Amino acid sequence: MDKRDYPAIVILTGAGISRESGLETFRDADGIWSKVRIEDVATPKAFARDPEGVHEFYNARRAGLTAGNIVPNAAHVALARLEAEWPGEILVVTQNIDDLHERAGSRNLLHMHGELLKVRCGLCGDLADWTGDLGVGVRCPDCGEAGALRPHVVWFGEMPLEMERIYENLERCGLFVSIGTSGNVYPAAGFVAHVKQAGGQTGRAHTAELNLEPSEGASHFDETRYGPATKVVPEYVGKILSGGWGT
Ligand code: BV8
């Protein structure tokens, strides 16, 4: 079979894929939004009103992610294996701001909600890698101004990144797999409906949800598999690589 016979795959991931690496999700019982309010830490208004409070929220998450005990799990590794062994195209679109997909070896990857280990200058637009704390007094490494650096993260009410590239891939794919997301946050939660409507390469793309439990959008999917990501994702990657996609 040549490359064209292998459907292009788009994989959407959310906080659930990183849960077994030790990172909290957002909407589970003990999740992040049970401890802080979105309006206080994850909107442009919150940052304008209380920049130090927002920096503190992201400083704690950045410190957690870089502490050394948070590593990719079998689900991240399975997706990197799929990319290495799949003869067709594959793109991972993650809502996550951690770097676990990269550290597992995924390369065709985009962070639609930004990256915790990057900062952006509100004045010169410079994007820089950043593993330490941020604060209002910290100077931009490029323009030298203080008080304009923010986490390179998409807050509520802000446009997610690379949306054109995402929709272009959704419209061409033959297989769409959603992993570890509750299907609450748009536009990501609308991707499965977009794939169904666009039809994909084969006129009808196959869609699968792999999650701990049914998401808000579960009924949109052709196929669902529930269980911890470190179990269901490697199993599903094995199924795809043995030619079982779409069944
Ligand atoms: C936009 C970055 C339009 C920050 C995040 C009013 C004004 C403006 C917009 C809106 C509005 N009302 C609604 C909206 C749209 C809004 C939205 O959808 N709100 C929701 C709450 C209703 N969306 C936006 O604002 C987006 N932008 O619409 O822009 C626009 C148009 C033109 C011009 C300008 C703008 C921006 C959304 C991005 C917000 N930023 N994060 C940060 O991380 O701190 S969202 C946040 O939620 C994370 O990115 C997270 O990834 C994302 C989705 O959550 P999930 O990943 O799904 O995590 P969750 O905890 O919910 O679920 C985890 C799942 O895993 C569960 O199902 C669980 O069962 C499962 N699980 C748990 N353990 C495991 C597991 N699965 C497998 N194995 C396990 N072990």
Q: With contact defined as beta carbons under 8 Å apart, do 40 and 51 qualify?
A: no
Q: With contact defined as beta carbons under 8 Å apart, do 130 and 147 qualify?
A: no
Residues 153-170 have pLDDT tens digits of 999 999 999 999 999 999
pLDDT at res. 200:
59
pLDDT above 70 (res 4): no
In the residue annotation, 113 being an active-site residue is answered as yes
Tell me the pTM: 0.96
Average pLDDT of the chain is: 95
pLDDT band at 203 (very low <50, low <70, confident <90, very high): low
Report how far ligand 1's centroid is from the alpha carbon of 184 (Å).
6
Q: Which atom of ligand 1 is nearest to the CA of 181?
A: 57
Q: Compute the distance between CA of residue 112 and CA of residue 187 in angstroms, rounded to an integer.
A: 10
pLDDT above 80 (res 232): yes
pLDDT above 70 (res 77): yes
Q: Which residues form the pocket of ligand 1, taking CB atoms under 6 Å from any ligand atom? A: 14-16, 19-20, 25-28, 31, 42, 95-97, 113, 153-160, 180-182, 184-187, 211-213, 215, 228-229
Which ranges in the chain belong to alpha helices (H)? 38-41, 44-49, 51-65, 74-85, 100-104, 163-172, 191-198, 229-241
Report how far ligand 1's centroid is from the alpha carbon of 245 (Å).
28
Pick the catalytic residue from 55, 76, 111, 113. 113
Report how far ligand 1's centroid is from the alpha carbon of 204 (Å).
27
Q: Compute the distance between CA of residue 118 and CA of residue 125 in angstroms, rounded to an integer.
A: 12
Query: Could you tell me whether strands 206-211 and 175-179 are parallel, antiparallel, or unpaired per DSSP bridges?
Result: parallel
Residues 185-194 have pLDDT tens digits of 999 999 999 9
Segment 145-152 shows an average pLDDT of 96
